[in-house]
């Protein structure tokens, strides 16, 4: 009579498989319960940061980048010979942005120090563009970031780019 013994339950292979299974389970659990912010930025379809799906407010850096982009783009597309109304609108835009910018350390220093050194100049597209470049450089200098050469700058933000 041939006796076939059952394979032992606790082989090295079985133990390793069980440990791997438990690890995978906890990895899955971590992925499902951690917030998207902990897992890194959630991207919009074209590569921007999706604030709503990320469920956390914009950072000072994100706000800053967006505000600079808007300010440079508005200045870069301003009129060569603006009317009084257009100049007023540009002045109000800059003042309003600084008044309402939700980073008080940013706007307080800007209004007290930078605007005194560089009063807003909206006399033409070139003047407004150079002004935004110079004041941005002031903030770059404060944050030890590289400066942009403003004299070659005033056409970077002209028009709306396509990807
Ligand atoms: C009015 C204002 C005041 C701020 N003050 C502070 C502050 O006090 N403390 C703080 O921590 N943050 C401040 N910020 C935010 C800060 O300036 C940056 O926006 C943020 O740190 C993100 O920096 P970034 O390196 O991504 O590039 P950003 O400085 O946001 O610049 C965005 C892009 O603009 C281009 N750029 C850079 N310099 C120039 C220039 N001179 N002219 C034209 N284009 C340029 C570059 O391609 C750059 O990638 C302020 C922002 C604003 C709008």
* Domain definitions of the chain by residue range: 14-56, 57-152
* Residues at CB less than 6 angstroms from ligand 1: 60-61, 64-65, 67-68, 72, 105-106, 109-110, 133, 136-137, 139-140, 143, 145, 148, 153
Residue 137 Cα to ligand 1 midpoint, Å, equals 8
Nearest CA to ligand 1 atom 22: 61
Domain 57-152 CATH (choose: 1.10.3720.10, 2.60.40.10, 3.40.50.150, 1.20.120.310) = 1.20.120.310
Model confidence at 50: pLDDT above 90? no
Region of residue 126 (left: phi > 0; alpha: psi -120 to 50; beta: else) = alpha
What was the pLDDT predicted at 33? 54
Tell me if residue 115 falls in helix, strand or coil: helix
What was the pLDDT predicted at 141? 96
The pTM of this model reads: 0.79
What was the pLDDT predicted at 10? 67
Nearest CA to ligand 1 atom 31: 65
Contact residues for 119 (Cβ-Cβ < 8 A; gap 6+)? none
- The token duo for 24 is 């995978």
Pick the closest to residue 102 from 139, 71, 59, 136 (CA basis): 59
Query: How would residue 57 be classed by pLDDT, with cut points 50, 70 and 90?
Result: confident
Residue 64 CA: nearest ligand 1 atom is 19
Rounded CA separation 36/53 (Å): 8
């Amino acid at each position: 009579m041939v006796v076939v013994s059952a394979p032992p339950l606790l082989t090295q292979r079985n133990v390793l498989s069980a440990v791997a299974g438990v690890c995978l389970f906890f990895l899955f659990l971590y992925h499902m319960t951690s917030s998207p912010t902990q897992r890194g930025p959630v991207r919009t379809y074209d590569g921007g940061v999706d604030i709503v799906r990320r469920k956390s407010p914009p950072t000072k850096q994100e706000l800053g980048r967006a505000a600079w982009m808007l300010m440079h783009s508005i200045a870069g597309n301003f009129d060569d010979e603006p009317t009084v109304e257009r100049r007023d609108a540009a002045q109000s835009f800059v003042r309003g942005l600084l008044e309402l910018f939700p980073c008080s350390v940013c706007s307080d220093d800007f209004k007290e120090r930078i605007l005194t050194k560089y009063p807003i100049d909206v006399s033409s597209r070139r003047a407004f563009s150079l002004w935004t470049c110079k004041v941005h450089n002031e903030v770059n200098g404060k944050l030890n970031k590289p400066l942009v050469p403003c004299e070659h700058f005033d056409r970077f933000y002209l028009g709306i780019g396509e990807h």
